[in-house]
Amino acid sequence: MKYFIFLVSLLLNSAFVYVLGSRSVLPLPLGSFLSVQEGVWQNAEPVDADFNASLRFDALKGKVDVFLDDRLVPHVFAEQENDAYFVQGYLHAKFRLWQMEFQTHAAAGRVSEIVGEKAINFDRNQRRMGMVYAAENALAAMENDPQTISAIDAYTAGVNAYISSLKTSDLPIEYKLLGYQPEKWTNLKSALFTKQMTQTLAGYDRDFEFTNALKLLGEENFRILYPSIPDSLYPVIAKGTVYNKPLAVLNPPASADSLYFKRTDTIQFVEDFKPNPSNGSNSWAVCGNKTQSGKPILSNDPHLGLTLPSIWFEIQLRTPAFNAYGVSFPGLPGVVIGFNDSISFGFTNAGRDVKDYYEIQFRNADKQEYWFDSSWKPTTRRLEQIRIKNAKTVEDTVAYSVFGPVMYDKSFKTDLTAEKAYALKWVAHDTSNILKMWLLLNRAGNYSDYLEAIRHFNVPGQNIIFASKSGDIALWQQGSFPLRWNDQGLFVMPGTDSSYMWKGYIPHEENPHAYNPVEGYLSSANQRAADTSYPYFMPGSYEVYRAIAINRKLASMNYITAQDMQLLQNNNYNVFAEDARPILLKYAIKEQLSAVEKKYLSLVESWNLMNDATEKAPTCFTAWWDSLHAEVFNDDLVQDKMPLAKPEKFVLLEALQRDSSFKFIDNINTPDKEDLYQMVTVALKKAAKKLASLEKENKLEWAKYKNTTVYHLLKTNAMAFAREGLMNGGGNGIINASQHDHGPSWRMVVEMTSPTNAYGVYPGGQSGNPGSKFYDNFISHWAKGMYYKLWFMESAAIEGKKCKWKMSFASK
């Protein structure tokens, strides 16, 4: 009996400790995870936590005082500029370490190290795009500039000072959840972060899709479905602007007609991990003539995937050289969107296509040589070693051509043959130091300083808005944009011939820009920057409707206040529906509709065109229009393995406005010839089925339908750390661009009065710790369209005392 008791006891005990201590039985090692002294309980930050601290580091040259206000925004007062970056690095790490490392691991294609085999394809994709190669090139440029390298060195030292102070029990929750440890921060990681943003904002293209569409549809139909300029375009730079004659006029190569426009084959593999084409932003500036205070007001809201921890971290940096406030990227020194004593600055994405594919001909499967300008040229090869959690390292050889990395070859996309492959030419691979722009913008005092600063910025191309206390407003579309002959880069180009290569970039001075325009305002919302009179070919992925809504409003507004600008950022008016609804209502055959279908129709009919949270009509309208879009195009564009792009929504709307017998209306799979009446009616009937099931689940209201959600970076794997079901309006093509998991990631309004009158909010919180009350405390405020007054501290001595906590940093 006693043997039995002992054996049972021993067995139970060992099994218990084994099960709770490893990940092989339970998905989590609950023993260490829930251990009170080691596990997640240590991350439960008391709601009255004390952030006061006194810290000493050898690396510091002088004193730095950090005042934390009641929203946990640090106001950093440094005696030496580089000390400010050291402390910024320390604070980023203190509040956001896991995110910084995870995002840069993702950039570098190292996610498999953390989550295992399921991320191999993602990692290979990143490496084959040349993300690390791009970051290395960027770092080389940073190291060549003394100002940048000293800033980034200080920043990296600050991050590492924090990492070295960590005990196992202090690690952010995600490390405990996934079971790994942070590694040292490096300058390369900061460079990787800039490339991650570049991928997000300038990593979208439709070269393969367009190549297939051209072959499938012929050129005439291709131009109808994928026009380069919408009729309703409201360009960034006002219509009618007269541009200089182009400094360079390029003609297509002689062989273009046969080798480029008339390809004989299609591309039969699908690209994964494309960035969200909704990545974009709004920004505008109004001059003093239009404001109540007589001073300019600048507004900016960048639209990105909404995540927890947020992509942004609010901070004030005060050094002898400058005093800047705004949001920063955990991973980079400096203020990225914000203002200083004299100027304010913001960004929207240019959306220009700076990424092309060239079809490469390898000599054979070993990828050592490729055919270029009539001979076999050697490739260079980069061996990528992808370490994988709980599995053997995977090796992947990427060949580099004269264009750039050969991203797609048979080893990655098995549908390809051994010889045929696609090389990527991307501005992101160029050697450039974009960080320098922010270091200079933070201290810029006027328009010419701004001009000098933005010259350092090459990618991702941005519309950079500017306003100053001295009364100037300006906007430049800034970046390196390839000089192209007409239609160059819309389709995959032959990679066997140097005549198809880019011939340099559009000269900086020729980039679209405006300075103190007579209209008294400037804006950009990811639309095409210029109309047809701009003398350079500028393909891209552009938005149409937000720009119209913003320009209409700004044109009519006067005596503008900062509050008016806040309301404008939260405006839910649907310009697209204003034009699209009449078509739906005109062509719906009411006699053929059931009572339920009629009900949805009348909701759309009586709608005030606002995508407000509690309206049901936006859901009905969206479902109906999407259904019409599918009815019209799905028969013509059968995807299968051949990637094709969905025509944009302006394409269908403008086509139907021009011609109700638009040729794509007919369903080519039926013997009958369908007309618009039938299409609109069938579309409503199909949409009504979906709407009825939504209504049953009580999800017809717009906010419930779109279910705005701020996901944790681990997405659906960590829903306990997400915020779901926010009640807010807005949507795609609406100024308030809040979609399901995407939208205004920071809203800022800055009035250039003295003292500066600034407001801001982002859907997150300063702390990345899900166990902190500062993790998501801004979200409800953001969802309601409310703002925080930004406290731009002038003096540490007087205002510092009003702050809740103080962290003192000094050298040893």
Partner 1 sequence: MKFIVSAIITAALAFGLGLYFPWWTIVFAGMLTGFFIPQHWGLSFLSAFTGVFLLWGLMALFISVSNDHILAKRISMLVVKNSSPYLIILITALIGGLTSGLSASTARSLLNLFKK
The residue whose two tokens read 């002992």 is: 6
Question: Minimum distance between the CB of residue 24 and partner 1, rounded to whole angstroms?
Answer: 15
Beta carbon nearer to partner 1, 36 or 555: 36
Beta carbon nearer to partner 1, 6 or 515: 6
Beta carbon nearer to partner 1, 616 or 723: 723
Interacting residue ranges for partner 1, rule: CB under 8 A = 2-3, 5-6, 9-10, 12-13, 16-17, 20-21, 28, 30-32, 34-41, 43-48, 177, 718-721, 770-773, 775
Question: Minimum distance between the CB of residue 470 and partner 1, rounded to whole angstroms?
Answer: 46
Beta carbon nearer to partner 1, 85 or 775: 775
Give rounded-to-5 percent helix, strand, coil for the chain.
35, 20, 45
Question: Minimum distance between the CB of residue 20 and partner 1, rounded to whole angstroms?
Answer: 6
Sheet bearing 307-308, strands edge to edge: 307-308, 708-712, 723-726
What is the spatial distance between Cα 784 and Cα 703, in angstroms, rounded to a whole number?
A: 12
C-alpha Rg value of the chain to the nearest Å? 28
Question: Minimum distance between the CB of residue 14 and partner 1, rounded to whole angstroms?
Answer: 9
Beta carbon nearer to partner 1, 173 or 554: 173
The residue whose two tokens read 């300083």 is: 449
Beta carbon nearer to partner 1, 35 or 292: 35
Beta carbon nearer to partner 1, 33 or 133: 33
Crossing angle of the two packed helices 676-696 and 595-605, in degrees rounded to 10: 100
Q: How many CB atoms lie within 10 A of CB 270?
A: 15
Contact 586, 572 (CB under 8 A): no
Question: Minimum distance between the CB of residue 13 and partner 1, rounded to whole angstroms?
Answer: 4
Exposed, middle or buried: residue 141 (CB in 10 Å: 0-12, 13-18, 19+)? Answer: buried
Question: Minimum distance between the CB of residue 781 and partner 1, rounded to whole angstroms?
Answer: 17
Question: Minimum distance between the CB of residue 42 and partner 1, rounded to whole angstroms?
Answer: 8
Beta carbon nearer to partner 1, 168 or 255: 168
Beta carbon nearer to partner 1, 527 or 772: 772
What is the spatial distance between Cα 66 and Cα 57, in angstroms, rounded to a whole number?
A: 15
Best CA proximity match to 187, nearest among 159, 147, 145: 159
DSSP secondary structure of 208-258: HHHHHHHHHHHHHHHHHHS-SS-TT---SSPTTPPPPPPS------TTHII
Question: Minimum distance between the CB of residue 11 and partner 1, rounded to whole angstroms?
Answer: 9
Exposed, middle or buried: residue 596 (CB in 10 Å: 0-12, 13-18, 19+)? Answer: middle
Question: Minimum distance between the CB of residue 721 and partner 1, rounded to whole angstroms?
Answer: 6
The DSSP secondary-structure symbol of 508 reads: G
Question: Minimum distance between the CB of residue 772 and partner 1, rounded to whole angstroms?
Answer: 7
Beta carbon nearer to partner 1, 17 or 229: 17
* CA angle centred on 744, ends 110 and 556, rounded to 5°: 150
Q: 3-state DSSP call for residue 380?
A: strand
Contact 396, 384 (CB under 8 A): yes
